[in-house]
Amino acid sequence: MICSQFAMNCLRTIAAGAFLLSSLWLPFVAMGDEPVHCYIIAPRALGHALVVLQDDLPFTVTYEDPEWIGNAGTEFLAPGLRIPQHSVIMFTLDPDKSKKRVIEDLVACYNRTAVPFEYKLYETETLPPAFNARPVQARNGNDGIPAPLLDTRISYSVQDESVGRILRDVCNLVSTAAGQRKLCGPFPERAEWLNRKMTISGKDKKAIEYLNEIASSCMLSWQAHSGPASVNDWTILQVFARKEAHGELSPVVLSIEDSRPLATAVQIIEREFGCAITYEDPLYVCGCEILSRDGVAYSLRGGLLKHGFSLKDGVERVLADCVTEYSRGGNPARFAFLRRADAIHVVPIAHRNQDSKFVGYASILEGDISFGFRGAARAGLEELCKALSVGTGQRVLLGEIPDVPQLTMSVSFDLQQYNARDCLTLFTQAISIERIFSWQLWYEPYKGGYTVNINEVGGALLFSKGIPDVPSAEHGVPHANP
């Protein structure tokens, strides 16, 4: 089956994250004597984490997607397009452990999360050695995973040929032997290693054996990303050079790839410091920042954020540096942080207009609203969203909220012409009994407005998990550029 240009372009965009990450990250082996706490949040969290940890290892570590079965382990992005579900890996790099043990612990940590496929490390016979992280079993216990594409057997021999040509030949041979299932690049056009010469030979060998030989000989690593749903017949092979260590990791490191990476980073920072920090989306109107199809907007394209910090720097310094790193990465919108009403806020200050140009932006929460309510906090949140809709002129709905007893307690408010941001903050402060709560305001294209999301500081991370297959009649079907 030939996938649509739309789906293929989306898959290539999603697959590009590992190349960007590998060019940004400091290698973990240069850490000091203290443990390093890592947060990895991404559609392919294990593959993402392995890129973070790969540099300067004495061996290559590769990653391979499973062959997706139905919708298991995937999220809806747009009609006919799904991506691997986001997952969260939180782990600690212990300097007292061997490098091999660190990788083994990482895979074990991933397998303990709620993911549909378990992974196992396989050691190769290459010199230097390589380790392949491969899916081995579905979470339901059935050995029903189709044979991996890279187990396709091919015969290939060549002398003194460039690595780039060898990789393309292997991809073509696998695609021919596998029938409808295809293996392809893209490979970086100007990478120095593409022109290296090597001799390779084999008969009736698995494709993964050729890739391991190439990677070990040329200090490379690779990942094979397959596309769920409409692009399931395509597997994108990413190959990148490993780097040498050039510094020490910070005590806390973040690597986040999702629709709003700064919002997720804010939750991790407030978790580490034990204080509430709020976050607000701007209004996204630029088509380049919204994933849409046939004029219908479905999701934010998002981006990638990497950041390392120490608690000794203080929360304001950490937030300022994180916002700066976010902007350097070419991510959507521009942000700043401010203190107001005994709270810390991360607010948008610029966004792209419909011509893709950055212009100044004032959050919808800058204005005043009136909010009066007496009753259970859960119902109060609903009423507060209605008041925000009236006061801001934007659709504001209640989004994700935790299942906690604090939302059953009685609250009372009588706020007249009160700053909208302060109203939200006063509400979360009122229910912060024995636990600390904060809020995030997200712009949701498929809902045609914003959602107010409540998260418990130190509780489960709140991040975009995909959207329903079909937007409900309640939400309507908004267009890409409101």
Beta strands in 357-436, from DSSP E residues, in sequence order? 358-360, 368-376, 396-398, 410-419
- Ranges of residues in the chain with a pLDDT under 50 are 1-31, 229-231, 245-246, 465-482
Confidence at residue 3, expressed as pLDDT on a 0 to 100 scale: 40
Total Cβ atoms within 10 A of residue 304: 21
Q: Which of the 8 DSSP states describes residue 86?
A: P
φ/ψ region of 163 (left if φ > 0, alpha if ψ in -120 to 50, else beta) reads alpha
CA dist., res. 307 & res. 294, Å (int):
36
Rounded to the nearest 10 degrees, what angle do helices 315-328 and 261-273 cross at?
160
| Closest residue by Cα to residue 411 from 456, 444, 378, 448 | 378
Q: Please return the burial class of 249, using the count of CB atoms within 10 Å of its CB with bins 0-12, 13-18 and 19+.
A: buried
Q: Are 263 and 57 in contact (CB under 8 A)?
A: no
Q: Which helix (H) or strand (E) holds 152?
A: none
Domain ranges of the chain: 5-241, 261-456
Contacts of 103 (CB under 8 A, 6+ apart): 50, 53, 57, 61, 121, 131
Confidence at residue 25, expressed as pLDDT on a 0 to 100 scale: 35
- Rounded to a whole number of angstroms, the CA Rg of the chain reads 24
CA dist., res. 234 & res. 65, Å (int):
11
357 half-sphere exposure, CB direction, 13 A CA radius: 3
Total Cβ atoms within 10 A of residue 480: 20
Measure the CA angle with vertex 457, ends 256 and 114; round to 5°.
55
CA dist., res. 159 & res. 308, Å (int):
44
CA dist., res. 18 & res. 13, Å (int):
11
Confidence at residue 1, expressed as pLDDT on a 0 to 100 scale: 34
In terms of pTM, does the model score above 0.85? no
